[in-house]
Chains A and B, each alone.
Chain A
Amino acid sequence: MKKLQFDYFMEIRYTIPAKECHFTIKCMPYTTNRQKISDLKIELLPDNGYTRDNDSFGNQQIYGCVSKTHRDFSFHITGNADVGLSDFEQTECGGIFPVFRYPHGMNCAQDNLKAYFKSLESSLPQAGGYERGVALMHALYRDFHYEKNCTDMNTTAEEAWTLGKGVCQDYAHILIALCHLAGIPARYVTGMLIGEGYSHAWVEIYDGGCWYGLDPTNDLLVTDSHIRIGCGRDALDCMINRGVMLGGGTQTQSIRVNVSEILD
């Protein structure tokens, strides 16, 4: 169990002024049985008002529109999180739950990933979704390489696997695809990791009524170093921010994320 404080800041600068900027931000961690969120603060600039509610996956979101002309847009989310209150998540997804058994969007396996799964199949534990999922994570960590700037936000699991390298989003999509092939329900999770300078992504797999967090980028079980933000079938369902606007020219996005432990 750890007490963490988090600070998520994102800024988008436009080379020419933008207006009618519609945004949806899914960057607010919420309390579950594994984490307790307190003192959550949201700052938007320019602040033109927004709506706050939940999407179909239970993620917290804020959305709205900055209609007047502006040259940069930023949001800043801060708060405290007690994490590691348990080793698993019991967040309900209600009637939506079965979708996490089926391939969707960026997590669909094609020939190369299917062949990879076949090569692993005989070495997997015979029983237990959790044990099999963890074994798949270890294998993926061994066989896939971390490298920035070779994939982008639209890269699919199959494309990243074929390339052999990528970032946390790619690790997560591939692990979900492998879990589906093994018959394990799996979902994509966004969040923050202690110390990291960016947002992070990992996977939750379902076994015996609980969701277990697996962080394939670090070959790590999710316990008390991760703050969970949201989940979905793939990265698109729970993208931290989405926007469309008029004008804007070229956009430069900068993200600063800081998670540190509060020591009593």
Chain B
Amino acid sequence: MQEVELLKNTDTVNELLARYGVKFGIYKNNTFKEQLFPFDAIPRIIEKEEFDYLERGLKQRVMALNLFLKDIYSKKQIVKDGILPEDFIFASSGYMAECEGVTPVKDIYSHISGIDLVKGKDGSWYILEDNLRVPSGASYPMIARELCRRSSPETFHDTRLEDNRNYAKLLRKTMDYVNVGGHSVILTPGRYNAAYFEHSYLAEKTGAHLVNGSELRVVDDKLYYEGYDGKLERVGVVYRRISDEYLDPMNFNPESVIGIPHLYDVFRKGNVAIINAPGNGVADDKGIYYFVPKMIRYYLNEEPILNNAPTYLPFYEEDMKYVLENFDKLVLKDVAEAGGYGVVFGSSMTKQQKEDFLTLLKEEPRRFIAQEVIDFQDLDILEEGGPVPRKADLRAFVLMADEPMVWKSGLTRFSRNPDSFIVNSSQGGGFKDTWVLSR
């Protein structure tokens, strides 16, 4: 069995990952700490037919989310037609009034979408959340695959699987498609950012320039890159990980020192593409998640291929009743939080915590969603004593050029704590490569 060869090399691969700087930076108690993102060599394997099904569902979902964003920042037909209550748009912190009436290049809002899924014990897949604000993570399985191929080439010689190193090609295509003429750049807040490794790796692999804010300048409603010699060269597309409110101190948070003054004005004029477009936060809010299946029916006139986890909105009286009656078997999520924060399980609260939470829930019902706890399929990970089962999810990546493209791989994250369902890397989880079989 060739795979055994691969597993024997786990330590080698992890050492190489550390050497290449595959790290995750986190801020805890105001200090910056870099930690390794532990790699587990047992891949998640997805059969071709199963992935074909996921691919259809993911494309459909991302198409609908893009149409939703376009609608929300223009006509708001979905609100007028009573499909979605306006509270969920305008009270959302992700809605940006500044984006009203502004059209991104070629109407694409979410160029890169990271859709988090889990597989239940019954074998069906559920969508857990959508990430439309330049989700990170693709670089980890890319480099892990590269290093695994180097350490145990035979394994890959004998297994028919999709090569995931094409992510850079897909990203390049996505950038080129909206480039208005000029360089492609990857804008990073710098090496103290959680995703710095990813920025530098993607820049290297796509051939885009890795730049920081001070190297970009707006002159006469156009964006330029300023080289060491002071020469200005036009920029046509910016891939950024800076959040909307820090993107441009003249249009958003005036305190931002990492943004580019007037960048948003250049964008409004259609003179540069920004990946992903500003304002996407309104569509990946956990409250909006509930409405995505309705969006698919509304905009595409199709039945959703992939299901949400069963979700309740306490905003609706009927759902509130259900939540109160079934509190102990539900997981509750604060819609404004991300990264595994603001998630509580009804069953694990003390009596006092539960009382406090219920008071808050009744005061601000829009702030929370409740979901059935999905019994996800465990995946084996290698520990000292041998393989042990752990909770894991899958972040699938969908890139949008003239049509949506699903990357035939994905980031499989797992929880190292046997009792935890939370797999976020910011909470100390690890990752696996995701193999999609090609036949």
| Chain A interface (Cβ < 8 Å from any Cβ of B) | 20, 22, 24, 49, 51, 55-57, 63, 65, 67, 94-96, 98-99, 101-102, 233, 236-237, 242, 244
Contact = CB atoms under 8 A, between A and B. Distances in A.
A185 to B, nearest CB: 11
11 contacts: A20-B217, A22-B218, A22-B261, A24-B250, A63-B262, A65-B262, A67-B219, A95-B76, A95-B100, A102-B90, A242-B249
B97 A96 contact: yes
Given A95-B74, A236-B254, A242-B254, A65 B98 contact: no
Contacts of B91: 102
Contacts of B102: 56
B36 interface: no
B339 interface: no
Contacts of A102: 90-91
A107 B249 CA distance: 20
B265 A51 contact: yes
Given A22-B261, A55-B98, A99-B97, 15 more contacts: A22-B218, A24-B262, A51-B220, A56-B97, A56-B101, A65-B218, A65-B261, A65-B262, A67-B219, A98-B90, A102-B90, A237-B97, A244-B249, A244-B250, A244-B254
A51 B221 contact: yes
Interface in B219-272: 219-221, 249-251, 254, 261-262, 265
Given A22-B261, A24-B250, A51-B265, A95 B101 contact: yes
Nearest to A100: B90
Contacts of B221: 51
A55 B98 CA distance: 8
B355 interface: no
A22 B261 CA distance: 7
Interface of B: 73-76, 86, 89-91, 95, 97-102, 217-221, 249-251, 254, 261-262, 265
A99 B99 CA distance: 12
A233 B95 CA distance: 13
A221 B17 CA distance: 67
Chief secondary structure at chain A's binding surface? mixed
Nearest to B75: A95
Contacts of B220: 49, 51
A96 B73 CA distance: 9
A234 B73 CA distance: 20
B101 A65 contact: no
A230 B95 CA distance: 21
Contacts of A65: 218-219, 261-262
Contact of A22 (B86, B98, B250): B250
Contacts of A96: 97, 100-101
A69 B96 CA distance: 35
A94 B219 CA distance: 30
A63 B76 CA distance: 30
A104 B172 CA distance: 38
B267 to A, nearest CB: 12
Q: Determine which residue in B89, B97, B251, B265 has the highest number of CB atoms from chain A within 10 A of its CB, and name it.
A: B97
Contact of A56 (B75, B99, B262): B99
Please give me the 9 A-B residue pairs with the lowest Cβ-Cβ distance, nearest first. A22-B261, A56-B100, A96-B100, A98-B90, A102-B91, A24-B250, A102-B90, A99-B97, A56-B98
